[in-house]
Amino acid sequence: MKIRNISIPVEVYDSLNELRDEDVVLVRRALQASAEAYAPYSRFQVGAAVLLDNGEVVSASNQENAAYPSGLCAERTALFYAGARYPHAAVKAIAIAAQRNGQPCPHAAYPCGACRQVMLECERRGKQPVRVIMYGEKCTEVAQRIADILPLSFTLE
């Protein structure tokens, strides 16, 4: 038996000023979207903003439901809408931001496993890396491709 260690390259930024302008715009859109979330049950409001290769930015928030599993995360709401509205556009980047009780979360907003799986398929479908910008008020983390944050992933291959 051998142990295979897997390392995940994630860039850590103390300030938004260190990010490229394109990413700052996306983070701001994600923050705006988080304020519009429908999350009366968890009170955890998440926003996601998706940059497409046609220049469009699509943003969305988490949408909850009294029948809990019927709700959907911000990332999947945004990506599925982008896919429905612009079926031929590839995703270039996605920013994620979260707030609780109106306060932005201090630490980076990591996407859940189900969202990572959907994001991975977007990356493969678009045939280009999708940058993931995970905003936190104190620290923002960036992965240069989704595959990096979903190692050992399930794919059809």
Give 18 or 76: the residue with its C-beta nearer to ligand THU.
76
Q: How far apart are CA 35 and CA 21, in angstroms?
A: 22
Residue choice 19, 26, 30, 46 for contact with ligand THU (CB under 6 A) = 46
> Is 141 part of the annotated catalytic residue set?
no
Nearest Cα residue to 10 out of 139, 106, 113: 139
Please work out the total of residues on this chain that contact ligand THU, with binding judged by CB under 6 A. Answer: 13
By CB under 6 A, tell whether 136 contacts ligand THU: no
Minimum CB distance to ligand THU, residue 104 (Å): 14
57-86 positions binding ligand THU, by CB under 6 A: 62, 64, 71, 73-75
What's the closest the beta carbon of residue 40 comes to ligand THU, in angstroms? 10
The sign of the CA dihedral 44, 111, 52, 88 is negative
The tokens describing 135, both together, are: 């905003």
Q: Which of residues 92-121 bind ligand THU (CB under 6 A)?
A: 111-112, 115
d(CA 17, CA 27) in angstroms, rounded, equals 12
- Least Å from the CB of residue 5 to ligand THU: 26
By the 8 A CB rule, do 152 and 19 touch? Answer: no
What distances in angstroms separate CA 97 from CA 7, 94, 106, 151, one per listed residue? 24, 10, 10, 22
Residues tagged active-site: 75
Residues lying near ligand THU in the complex (CB under 6 A): 39, 42, 44, 46, 62, 64, 71, 73-75, 111-112, 115
